[in-house]
Amino acid sequence: MLIDRAVVEVRSGNGGNGAISFLQEKNMPKGGPDGGNGGKGGSVYLIAKKNVNTLLAYRHSKVLQAMDGGKGDKKMRSGKNAEDVIAEVPVGTLVYQEEGNLLLADLSQEGQMVCVAKGGRGGRGNAAFKTSRLRIPRIAENGHPGERKRLILELKLVADAGLIGFPSVGKSTFLNIVSKANVATADYPFTTLIPNLGVVTLPDSYSQFVLADMPGLIEGAHEGKGLGISFLRHIERCRVLVHMVSMGGERD
């Protein structure tokens, strides 16, 4: 199975409620309002990372959830802001909102980050409602709710050149020779199940480009034959396609 698509649910935290409280001290029995504000709910972010190669991690942990903000407290104490959740995805990940199939982000650069669920704002405590007219406010705000969304993550490799061709024509062998990649090669078809990347350094030793080795392509792939069309999305972003042809004669 190609790990290049995953469905995840993201949930940001609710904001904490504001507090209703009045200062009570021996020498000041009727102190003013001192209810603090609620803390912010945590947000969920996705960040593109070069060292992450697949969406495999999202096959198993399908929910990314941030915590709720803390409640406000007496003595003007604000609730704790919840920590954000920052999840790493491969460079080249497209992020869609499932509802409406809306493209939210195209994470094509290392370190690029997108907020996919914003944490709820904390509610204001009653101290914030004090005015010259309203000296004893008995009201506070509830925290704002967090968001919940289902996302579709889709990985398209970002490569300069892509190697395509029938199974077992030597695509992976070629990649291993021209780059430092060390991918499996064997004399049976469909040895390569997921695309592999290698960095090719040119003889001037300054210029480099990224070469992608693809699974074998057979006639009818666009109709689902062989490994089907699911990996073809990876070659859409290659600037050059190199079609390898075996010189060994007719295949059986």
Ligand X SMILES: Nc1nc2c(ncn2[C@@H]2O[C@H](COP(=O)(O)OP(=O)(O)OP(=O)(O)O)[C@@H](O)[C@H]2O)c(=O)[nH]1
Q: Site mask, ligand X, residues 142-171, x = CB under 6 A? A: -------------------------xxxxx
Cα–Cα distance, 156 to 46 (Å, whole number): 16
In terms of DSSP bridges, do strands 208-213 and 161-164 run parallel, antiparallel, or are they unpaired?
parallel
Tokens of 30: 């009727």
- Kindly state whether residue 195 participates in binding ligand X, applying the rule CB under 6 A: no
Closer CB to ligand X, 100 or 249, in the complex: 249
Are the beta carbons of 128 and 77 closer than 8 angstroms?
no
- Kindly state whether residue 14 participates in binding ligand X, applying the rule CB under 6 A: no
Closer CB to Mg ion, 155 or 227, in the complex: 227
Cα–Cα distance, 93 to 6 (Å, whole number): 10
Q: What angle do CA 119, 125, 127 make, to 5 degrees?
A: 145
Binding partner selected for residue 189 from ligand X, Mg ion, none, CB under the kind-specific 5 to 8 Å limit: ligand X
Closer CB to Mg ion, 121 or 171, in the complex: 171
Among 56, 113, 186, 240, binds ligand X (CB under 6 A): 186
Are the beta carbons of 141 and 124 closer than 8 angstroms?
yes
- Kindly state whether residue 218 participates in binding ligand X, applying the rule CB under 6 A: no
Closer CB to ligand X, 13 or 165, in the complex: 165
Of residues 117-146, those binding ligand X (CB under 6 A): none
Q: By CB neighbour count within 10 A (0-12 exposed, 13-18 middle, 19+ buried), where does 26 fall? A: exposed
Among 192, 194, 227, 234, binds ligand X (CB under 6 A): 192
Q: Which residues bind ligand X (CB under 6 A)?
A: 167-173, 185-187, 189-192, 215-216
